[in-house]
Amino acid sequence: MFSGSIPALATPFRDGSFAEDQFRALVDWQIDQGSSALVPCGTTGEASTLSNAEHHRVIEVCVEQAAGRVPIIAGCGSNDTTNALLHLTFSKKCGAAAGLVVAPYYNRPNQEGITAHFTTLTESIDLPLVLYNVPARTVTDIQPETVAALSQLPGIVAIKDASGVLDRVTEYRLDCADDFVMLSGVDELSLAFNAAGGIGCISVTANVAPKLCAEFQAACAAGDYAKARELNDVLYPLHKSLFSDASPGPIKYALSRVLPDFSTDLRLPMTPPSEASRKAVDAALEGAGLI
């Protein structure tokens, strides 16, 4: 259902508020550069700092601006099942193609609780769900056997796996539903992830290097791993630099270097990246020919 380079979009702020004009321009640029779908209100979009009203407005603007050119996978995660359903209901109403739902954080449910969370959501709304597993942020880890069971539910179509455990890709391929889509959630592992059976990445780096990331994913899809490795070598320093300080500080800085009007404003508790981080981003952008 989804494949290729899918940026998890940064959310620009100006004077503390959502900078809608900058976001609309970012959406257009991403589509023009070859991104195959867009994710508003993910981790990179600082969803955890948005009010529900802001969260919904960002999704609505993304759907409006994309205007059917690419599908929108709306970030709908919450540690509260009821609130996640609220996000999903709004996203379906405004035309999103799917909802990206992170494993419940902070509460630390066991595998039974995780299964109940996702089962309740898929039984409550007719909108495809993409599981999002990122244990480094949530502490909760959706185990492969839980993913396999959830993949059998008709409403759960894919996973964004940011566990960093590459052998899980093979487990998913062997044990999940035949049409279950595996997407990497870690840019620097995407080459190996795709070789093991993945078909794309929900990406931080694609915010600032959408064309290169799209070309990389296209090479993987074509089985041209020589070209994919060449592109990965160009992108790898950028992948690493964008996590040289707390994300999304470095990616917002990178966007301001490539799109001069893009705001670097962050919401507390996030603060601007360090000088060392900015230098690493600059060097990686130069190396990739982006500045």
Q: Which residues are catalytic?
A: 132, 160
Find all residues with CB under 8 Å of 82, minimum gap 6, and list them.
Answer: none
Q: Assign residue 78 a region: left if phi > 0, alpha if psi is -120 to 50, beta otherwise?
A: beta
How many angstroms separate the CA atoms of 264 and 172, rounded? 37
Q: Report whether 75 contacts 47 (CB < 8 A).
A: yes
Helix (H) or strand (E) holding 79: none
Under a CB-based contact definition with an 8 Å cutoff, are residues 117 and 81 in contact?
yes
For residue 7, say if its preceding peptide bond is cis, omega within 30 degrees of 0: no
Nearest to 268, CA basis, from 13, 90, 9 = 13
Is residue 228 within 8 Å of 216, Cβ to Cβ?
A: yes
Burial of 276 (0-12, 13-18, 19+ CB in 10 A): exposed
Q: What is the 3-state secondary structure (H, E, C) of 11-54?
A: CCEECCEECHHHHHHHHHHHHHCCCCCEECCCCCCCHHHCCHHH
Residue 75 near residue 111, CB atoms below 8 Å: no
